[in-house]
Amino acid sequence: MMGKASGFSLVEVLVATVILGIALVPAMDALRTGMKGTEMHQGFQEQHYHLMSKMEEVLAESFSLLNSAVGINTVPSSYSNSSENYNVYLSFYDADNADSDDNVFTGTDNVLWVRTELIDSGLAFETLVAP
Amino acid sequence: MIIRRKTHGFTLIEVLIVVAISGMLMVSLSNVVGGALTVSEVSKSQNDLNREAGYILDHIVQIISRSPEVNTGFPGIVFTAKVDPERDSDMDNYPDVDNDKDGEVDEGPVDQDWGDLIIYRFFSDTQRLIEEDPFPADVNEDGFHSDADRRAYTVSENVTSITGTLLPKNATRSFDLLTVNLELTGGNGDAISRSVTIRVGGAL
């Protein structure tokens, strides 16, 4: 009399294979997400240093030159450079709200507001400059 | 009468089918897994390089933006930067640049204060970037504290290129600008490059 032979049946093997295949899909997806994250991080870091450089270049300018280039806070100034993909906004900054209009971009306080931003990107730096 | 019971197990056809399917799966899976491993390695390498480049540049930005003077153009040296005039690393209430601790810095003919330069050296053969820093004590144990008391730190061992270009201040520019171009190469040949321009002494 022969006992029950042990081992996987064909159906079992096929089911296991299908489960393995299904499990691989999210695993590959996670890997793809990781790769995408790396690329984004790389791009973000490049943008960060690029924007930082541009801000430093603007801040290295003399106060009188920046002062003469001041315009409206929503319009890119002459320091902008679309071929290098960045805009610079310059405006007077009313720090003490002397004109009581609760708008820091009207009135003067001998302080300039500087914003550099990458075009088509959410990345921007802002700072104030005093003489 | 002999009764034959049906034996359980694979028939030859079943085994052949499983072997064939397994073979095909193994081939496709090995490609997928191999590709995934490669992608994972590249991703990790790029991440490491990004992090390292970020660390190096952030560190350099800190030094340059708090240095009153930076110079370039010396052979084997990326740049030299005078130490932050407010730095007091031994916390003795005298800035590190006041070497003779008389309350004055670079005070004149009887000046006992030396240069206090941070020096960035690059060794292309070993891909090492070294920061040499003045130490506020007799670290070389020669009996007195002098300009020779310096410590060298390896900032990175993956640098394949680094340059420092100085744009001096002029009639329209109030600060010197230093542009640092950095290229790092990982063990598997991946390379990244970053560039940053910093105002010399911009944070002083």
**Is B14 an 8 Å CB contact of chain A?**
yes
Domain that holds residue A74: 11-129
In chain B, what residues touch A38 (CB-CB under 8 Å)?
A: 43, 46-47, 50
Distance CA A126, CA A88 (A): 10
Do residues A59 and B202 touch, judged by C-beta distance below 8 A?
A: yes
Task: Evaluate whether residue A20 is within a structural domain.
Answer: yes
In chain B, what residues touch A22 (CB-CB under 8 Å)?
A: none
Do residues A113 and A92 touch, judged by C-beta distance below 8 A?
A: yes
Task: Evaluate whether residue A50 is within a structural domain.
Answer: yes
Residue A52: both structure tokens together: 């930082």
Question: Residue B179 pairs with which residues in a beta bridge?
Answer: B165, B197
Listed in sequence order, the residues at least 6 apart from B74 whose beta carbon sits closer than 8 Å to its beta carbon are: B80
Gap from A100 CA to chain B (nearest CA, Å) = 32
DSSP letter, residue A108: -
Crossing angle of helices B12-65/A10-60, nearest 10°?
Answer: 10
Task: Evaluate whether residue A5 is within a structural domain.
Answer: no
Do residues B76 and B85 touch, judged by C-beta distance below 8 A?
A: no
Task: Evaluate whether residue A112 is within a structural domain.
Answer: yes
By C-alpha distance, the chain A residue nearest B22 is: A17
Do residues A107 and A95 touch, judged by C-beta distance below 8 A?
A: no
**A97 or B195: whose pLDDT is higher?**
B195
pLDDT above 70 covers what percent of chain B?
Answer: 96
Q: What angle do CA B135, B141, B146 make, to 5 degrees?
A: 45
Under the banding of pLDDT at 50, 70 and 90, the label for residue B181 is very high
**Is B36 an 8 Å CB contact of chain A?**
yes
By C-alpha distance, the chain A residue nearest B41 is: A35
Do residues B60 and B180 touch, judged by C-beta distance below 8 A?
A: yes
- Render pLDDT for B30-48 as a digit per residue (tens, 0 to 9): 888 888 888 888 888 888 9
In chain A, what residues touch B198 (CB-CB under 8 Å)?
A: 53, 56
Task: Evaluate whether residue A6 is within a structural domain.
Answer: no
Tell me the count of A-B CB pairs closer than 8 A. 86
Task: Evaluate whether residue A1 is within a structural domain.
Answer: no
Task: Evaluate whether residue A21 is within a structural domain.
Answer: yes
Residue B1: both structure tokens together: 């009468």
Compute the average pLDDT of residues B102-120: 83
Task: Evaluate whether residue A63 is within a structural domain.
Answer: yes
From residue A94, alpha-carbon distances to A100, A110, A116, B156 in Å are 10, 8, 19, 45
Distance CA B30, CA B36 (A): 10
Nearest to B50 among A4, A28, A45 (CB): A45
- Render pLDDT for A51-86 as a digit per residue (tens, 0 to 9): 999 999 999 999 999 988 888 888 999 999 989 899
Q: The pTM is what?
A: 0.80
- Asked if the model's pLDDT at residue B63 lies above 80, the reply is yes
Q: Count of domains in chain A?
A: 1
